[in-house]
Structure 1
Amino acid sequence: MFTNPEQFASATKTLFELQMMTFNALTSKAVQGVEQVVALNMATAKNSAEASIAAGKEMSQAKDPKEAMASLAAHAEPGMAGAVAYGGQLKDIIEDIRTEFTQAADTHMAEAKSTLSALIYDVTQNVKPGSENAVAIIKTAIDNAFQGYEQVTQATRQAVQVVEAQVAKASAQVAPGAAAKAPKAKK
């Protein structure tokens, strides 16, 4: 087992630091992703408002209802194209977040495995006769801690996949709507 309590404290501290590094990396990636989505939403809202104002101005200057409807139809197609582009950009942001989450989690997982392997090695060295049960308990505790760490990482990956699937579903629903409305707008 550990020859002194400082070894155990050092190993525990290292594992805790790895967990905090992983948490900080994943949190940082999540915040960056939220910032990107907010920026995209703000730009989309601004563009939409400007397009609506321009469309309203054109419609108000129309000389008859037919001209007003033509103006409305002319603005519908770019609006749908913008919605499709928005979905694509949102999907790209989510995919980037997923990729960065996966890379950060995998990197920190490898570091944790290495640290745990070293910890288990230290635990099993210099075992005094009759201490086998204590070693087994410590190994089990370390294995359980690592399994919990893996479960948190897996849950994070699943959450990102769910968000990505929802974005893909929403984008798929917008895209057919744009295709269906675009020909009508030209008529």
Structure 2
Amino acid sequence: MFQNPEQFASATKTLFEFQLDTFNSLTSKAVQALEQVSALNLATARSNVENTLATGRELSEAKDPKAVLAVAASKVQPGVADAAAYNQQLSQIIAEIQSEFARAAEAHMAEAKSSLSALIYDVTKNVRPGSENAVQIVKQAIDNAFKGYEQVTTATREAVSTFEEQLARASASVAEHSQTRH
């Protein structure tokens, strides 16, 4: 069993710190992805405004309906290409964040499991006869702390999944809008 209560408190604190580190790491990665998507959306919006103004100028300078149709036709392919490029960049951001989340969560989980195994070993290595109930209580407390850690990790993964779904819907909406506009 633990040599003193401080040893148990230290082990519990370590598991709690793993939970916080994982949450902070994953939250930081989510914010980073949001910043990247915001920058992409801003650049796309700026480009769309510039293209729309340029197209408006070209249309106003057209001398006849045939020239107007030629200008409009010349803008369709670049608009589709822009939407495809946007979708590709958004997909890259999503893939990167998903990969980073998986790596960070797995690394933190492996570290927590390793610490948990060491903690359980420390708890059970010097058990005095008749202390089995106390050992079970300690093991249960450790197990509950680890389950809390897993819940934080799972909740964060679900939040990222929801974020990815919303980005995919936004991307589809932008692609649809770009295609109908041109």
TM bucket (normalised to shorter chain) is 0.7 to 0.9
1:107 aligns to what? 107
Percent identity between matched residues is 63
Distance in 1 of aligned mates of 2:47 and 2:69: 21
Larger RCO: 1 or 2 (CA < 8 Å, sep 6+): 2
Q: Which amino acid aligns with 2:26?
A: L
In structure 2, the CA distance between the partners of 1:177 and 1:40, relative to structure 1 (3 Å rule), is closer
- Where structure 1 has 5 or more consecutive residues not aligned to the other structure, the ranges are 183-187
Where in structure 2 are there 5+ consecutive unaligned residues? none
Number of aligned pairs?
182
C-alpha distance after superposition, 1:69-108 (max 9, x if no partner): 3212221321122111111110110110000011011111
TM-score by length of 1: 0.84
* CA deviation string 1:29-83 (max 9, x = no partner): 1111111111111110111111001000001111122322321222132112211
User: What is the aligned partner in structure 1 of residue 146 from structure 2?
Assistant: 146
Report how far residue 140 of structure 1 moved: 1.5
Distance verdict in 2 for CA 1:157–1:149, change over 3 Å? same
**Residues 28 and 48 of structure 1: CA distance in aligned 2, closer, same or farther (over 3 Å):** same
Matches within 5 A, 1:22-171: 22-165=22-165, 167=167
Per the TM alignment, residue 151 of structure 1 is displaced from its structure 2 partner at its CA by 2.9
Contact preservation (8 Å) 2:30, 2:160: no
User: Aligned residue for 1:13?
Assistant: 13
Q: CA RMSD in A?
A: 2.5
Hey, what's the Cα distance between the residues in 1 that align with 2:84 and 2:145? 44
Partner of 1:185: none
Tell me which amino acid in the other structure corresponds to 1:115: S
Deviation at 1:178, TM superposition (A): 8.0
Q: Distance in 2 between the 1:34 and 1:69 partners? A: 39
C-alpha deviations, 1:146-174, integer Å up to 9, x for none?
12322332333344344445555665787
- Which letter does structure 1 place at the counterpart of 2:49? A
State the secondary structure of the residue aligned to 1:106: helix
Deviates more, 1:130-139 or 1:89-98: 130-139
Aligned counterparts, 1:171-186, within 5 A: none
What TM-score do you get using the length of structure 2 for normalisation?
0.86
Residues 162/36 of structure 1: CA separation in 2 closer, same or farther (3 Å cut): same
Deviations 1:17-37 (A, max 9, x none): 222221121111111111111
| Corresponding residue SS for 1:151 | helix
Matching residue's letter, 1:160: V
Contact 1:77–1:178 (Cα < 8 Å) also in 2: no
